[in-house]
């Protein structure tokens, strides 16, 4: 029997920050390897309501920033966005509300995407149970950046030795495995 490769979606660039390595989440990650993770978003613009039948999806702006049209699935413990091919979440801190997001709305906004730095949190577990947010991502490329420098280094593995200060981070160019 011939084994067929899983089909892959278009590449998505995700932030992989130093503290995720230090806290023991998702490391080491290697080019050609897979990681099972949920995706966390950081809102970078106001969310504007759009027509409910507007197609969901994302347009790459730069680095790990995207312009997205998303449906708001939940706003209880975390804001859960359906981006079309996958879902992303943002924790709602106890002293905050959901902000621009109303459950059931379709919105347009700019956001950054990264590996969820809180994979064992109660709100992540709830989101995984209700919305299946954890997905398998295939790592195509890893780019290490140092803040304040234009230097970008392509590396094969991101681990404690490669993201060793608070000014370094990696971008993971990933494909979603279906």
- For 4-29, the pLDDT digits (tens) are 344 445 689 998 875 555 556 667 88
Cross-strand partners of 43: 111
Average pLDDT over residues 164-177: 83
Q: What is the pLDDT of residues 86-115, one digit of tens each?
A: 999 999 988 999 999 999 999 999 999 998
Give residue 4's pLDDT: 36
Tell me the mean pLDDT in the region 50-70: 96
Average confidence (pLDDT) over 40-59: 97
Bigger pLDDT: 165 or 85? Answer: 85
Whether residue 1 has pLDDT greater than 50? no
Q: What pTM was estimated for this model as a whole?
A: 0.87
Q: pLDDT value at position 20?
A: 59
Per mean pLDDT, which range of 14-18, 46-50, 155-159, 160-164 is the poorest? Answer: 160-164
Please state the rounded mean pLDDT for residues 57-75: 96
Convert 130-153 to b/e letters by CB count within 10 Å (16 or more is b): ebebbbebbbebbbbbeeeeeeee
Contact residues for 94 (Cβ-Cβ < 8 A; gap 6+): none
| Token reading at 68 | 């997205």
Contacts of 34 (CB under 8 A, 6+ apart): 136, 137, 138, 139, 177
On whether the CB atoms of residues 41 and 112 are closer than 8 A, the answer is yes
Please state, for a pLDDT cut of 70, what percent of the chain lies above it.
85
For the chain, the average pLDDT equals 86
């Amino acid at each position: 029997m011939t084994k067929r490769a899983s089909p892959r979606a278009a590449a998505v660039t995700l932030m992989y920050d130093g503290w995720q390595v230090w806290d023991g989440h998702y490391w080491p990650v290697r080019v050609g390897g897979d990681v099972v993770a949920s995706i966390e978003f950081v809102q970078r613009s106001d969310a504007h309501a759009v027509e409910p039948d507007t197609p969901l999806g994302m347009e790459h702006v730069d680095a790990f920033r995207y312009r997205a049209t998303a449906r708001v699935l939940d706003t209880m413990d975390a804001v859960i966005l359906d981006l079309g091919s996958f879902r992303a979440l943002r924790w709602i801190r106890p002293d905050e509300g959901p902000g621009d997001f109303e459950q059931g709305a379709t919105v347009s906004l700019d956001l950054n995407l990264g590996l969820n730095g809180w994979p064992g949190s109660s709100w992540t577990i709830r989101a995984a149970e209700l919305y299946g947010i954890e997905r398998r991502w295939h790592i195509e490329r890893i780019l290490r950046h140092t803040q304040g420098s234009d230097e970008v280094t392509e590396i094969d593995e991101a681990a404690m030795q490669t993201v060793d200060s608070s000014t370094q981070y990696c971008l993971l160019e990933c494909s979603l495995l279906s």
